[in-house]
Amino acid sequence: MIITAPKNETEKLAWLRLIRSENIGPITFYQLLRHYGSAENAIKAIPDLVQKVGSKRQIQLCSIKDATDEYARHQKNKIHLIARGEPNYPSLLAEIDDAPPLLSVMGHPHLLLKKSVGIVGARNASLHGRRLTQLFAKTLGEAGYVISSGLARGIDTSAHEASLDTGTIAVVAGGVDFVYPPENQVLYTKIVEMGAIISECPLGVNPQARHFPRRNRLISGISLGVVIVEAALKSGSLITADFALDQNREVFAIPGSPLDPRAHGTNALIKQGAHLVQNGEDVIEVLKQSTHHKVQESTNDYWKSVDTTSNESATDNEVNQAIEALKTLLSFTPNDIDEIMRSLDLPPKAILTALLALELAGRVVRHTGNKVSLTDDVLFNTA
């Protein structure tokens, strides 16, 4: 089944309800759509599906009222709510497995359709790092690239400031209507007027620590490549670089002094094969020669290769067998779903349905790379 954008406001509200419901992230969202044919059908089926796991706890589904209220807030505040598959949805972002089903956009959504380069780095950036960021952003902007970053202190702030006139996209970890950090209020206002602010989070959400890695995957997801200016080891910027590699994007790193901890991460990236760049022209030259900006869909994702909407549905008995087998088979270490498929002598659809039920019940968590593992509820109690 090929997923298409909502055809009308009713379908978009159903999409909003589904993605705002408990234990449902982008990948699970798409699984449910492929499995049940529509968001509305999925919402109706979820309670019975969760019950197959044996949990007494009811999953919290987003109500029609809450979805309608959020939709109305978008319209009242002139915030665009763009669904994957709609004309203004970023084409590169749409090609990653966990692309947000819905994006909130303040400002000018047409910028999402232009070629973009991400620039990220340390919050405690040096003056030298900020100056380099401004030079890179200016050169890339004048060459026609929109600059994407995370509106954080330091390097992100410099990247946005230097690209306001040529086009900038701020990807935030909370709601697009929540200014963070607060000292960037003026910059935030300018970006709304001249650029775009995007997020997959509900409106009004205060950024939390767990939101930032997911924000980082969007910065790389909308970009042809990501420039890392200054980054310590184990920094958020390196997480962005990891996402870029997973998404088949180019990774650029500016070398720095080995005496400066803010250069340890960028220097490590160069040792690992990132492009060493000294100016914006270096980035442009690589992008002109790159063949990696056309991201191919995964061929080993069973939710894409198995026809989950065929008439040959799994029986309740097969699904129950799969649930019991997975309880034993899975552990805290992520396992590849393809390997799980090969190890169980059960119909693929039964295994996928069982995994979906366990995810919705909060017993299994999904990881990048088509992997799953147990959550803390390892004993599968029914409390």
The residue among 66, 83, 100 that closes a domain is 83
Residue 142 shares a structural domain with residue 39? no
Q: Check residue 312 and give its pLDDT.
A: 54
Same domain, 74 and 99: no
Residue 228, domain CATH: 3.40.50.450
- Boundary of a domain, candidates 240, 273, 289: 289
Residues 96, 79 within the same domain? no
Residues 122 and 68 in one domain: no
pLDDT digits (tens, 9 = 90+) for 115-127: 999 999 999 999 9
- How far is Cα 47 from Cα 357, in angstroms, rounded to an integer? 9
Condensed to tens digits (0 to 9), the pLDDT of residues 39-84 reads: 999 999 999 999 888 766 788 999 999 999 999 999 999 999 999 9
Nearest residue to 214 (alpha-carbon basis) of 245, 236, 195: 236
Q: Is the domain of 232 the same as that of 319?
A: no
* pTM confidence score: 0.88
Contact 160, 147 (CB under 8 A): yes
Determine, yes or no, domain membership for 180. yes
Q: Which of 383, 375, 381, 382 is nearest to 23 (CA)?
A: 375
Q: Are 223 and 360 found together in one domain?
A: no
Q: Are residues 176 and 216 in the same domain?
A: yes
Q: Which CATH number does the domain housing residue 360 bear?
A: 1.10.10.10
Verify that 228 and 324 share a domain, yes or no: no
> How many domains does the chain contain in total?
3
Cβ(225)–Cβ(290) under 8 Å?
yes
Structural domain of 325:
314-374
> Could you tell me the two tokens for 186?
């003026």
- Rounded to an integer, the average pLDDT of 194-216 is 95
List phi, psi (to 5°) of 316.
-60, -40
- Given 289, 306, 335, which residue is the final one in a domain? 289
132-178 pLDDT, tens digit per residue, is: 999 999 999 999 999 999 999 999 999 999 999 999 999 999 999 99
Q: Looking at the structure, do residues 112 and 230 belong to the same domain, yes or no?
A: yes
Shared domain for 128 and 68, answered yes or no, is no
- Tell whether 231 and 368 lie within a shared domain: no
